[in-house]
Structure formats: C-alpha cells, structure tokens
Amino acid sequence: MIAFSGCRNKSENKTEVITPVSVNTSIPDTVLNSRIFEAALNGQLSQLLHLLAGGFDVNTRDNYGRTALMYSAYNGHTEIIRELILKGASIDLQDTNGRTALMMASSGPWPAAVKLLLDNQADPNITDKDEHFTALMYAAAEGQLEVVRILLANRADPFLKDIDGDDAGTFA
C-alpha cells in the first residue's frame, strides 16, 4: 500500500492512499496506472522502464491529476525524473490542486531533482490553486535552504504573493 502525502501548506496535511496492485493476467488500465505511479514514487527504475517500454503514456494522470513525474519528484528520484523527461513527460502539468512536479520536489530535501526540473524548463513561478503558493514558497515553508537558493538562481520570483498576501520571505 502506498501513502502519498501531497505538498503541505498551512491549510492541509492530508495523506492519500493508493491501493496495492494485484497480479493479474488481464490487467486493467487503472492497475497499470497505479503500477507506474508506485514505481515512480518508490524509485523503482527497472519497473518504470519496463512499463514505459510497454507503451505506457508518460503523461497519464491519476484521480488527483498527478503524473508519474510528480510522484518521482515528490521523493526526489532524479534518475526516474530524467527518464520520464526523456520519454516526453510534460514538466509543468498541474494536479487537481494546481501543484506541479517542481512544487513537489521543492517541498522536500531534493535539490538535485529541483535543479533537473529547472534545467528542463520547469516554471518556478506557477502558483497552485489552493493558496497560490509557488515552488519557492513551498521550499521556504519547509526550510529547504539549498532548494530556495537553486530556485532563486533560476528565475523564481521572491515577491509573488499567496492568497493571504504573504511572500516566500514570510515563510522563511
């Protein structure tokens, strides 16, 4: 069973659960989808490559609008992020809450993942739908100093405001 906690902001701290995948000879799409999300979240590169070789759409979304890239970014799996990008993953897709892979990577201690996403043209100034947080705000709120430095060196606007009028400096 996979528990995936989304990027946290001051109004939420939820854990979402993805049910385990069963082995079956006639596997429905939802099971295949959960397998690739699980592989991306847990850093299972060989499983992910096997699924991609089978024709899996790299930008497939789960019920929350999340992609394999978002799951891999959440846990900072740079090898998987790199493979997904090479296979055509869209960098700036947003989940149902408006969060991107960069926001997910920025909320954790994953400077290499953040740098890789930025090097592949991730937009650091996209805001989520809930609080209007940016990747920089997530990094500052979670105390990820190295990530904050990388974001600032790569076009992140420190003066953008969230819905409460706060900027990244307020969270730092």
Q: Are residues 131 and 95 in contact, defined by beta-carbon separation less than 8 angstroms? A: no
The one-digit pLDDT tens for each residue of the chain (172 residues) are 344 554 544 444 444 443 333 333 344 577 778 899 999 999 999 999 999 998 889 999 999 999 999 999 999 999 999 999 999 999 999 999 999 999 999 999 999 999 999 999 999 999 999 999 999 999 999 999 999 999 999 999 999 999 999 999 999 8
Predicted TM-score of the model (pTM): 0.84
How far is the C-alpha of 151 from the C-alpha of 31, rounded, in Å? Answer: 35
How far is the C-alpha of 45 from the C-alpha of 119, rounded, in Å? Answer: 21
Nearest to 105 by CA among 64, 146, 65: 146
Q: Compute φ and ψ for 39, nearest 5 degrees.
A: -60, -40
**Bridge partner residues of 60 (DSSP):** none
Token digits of residue 44: 């299972």
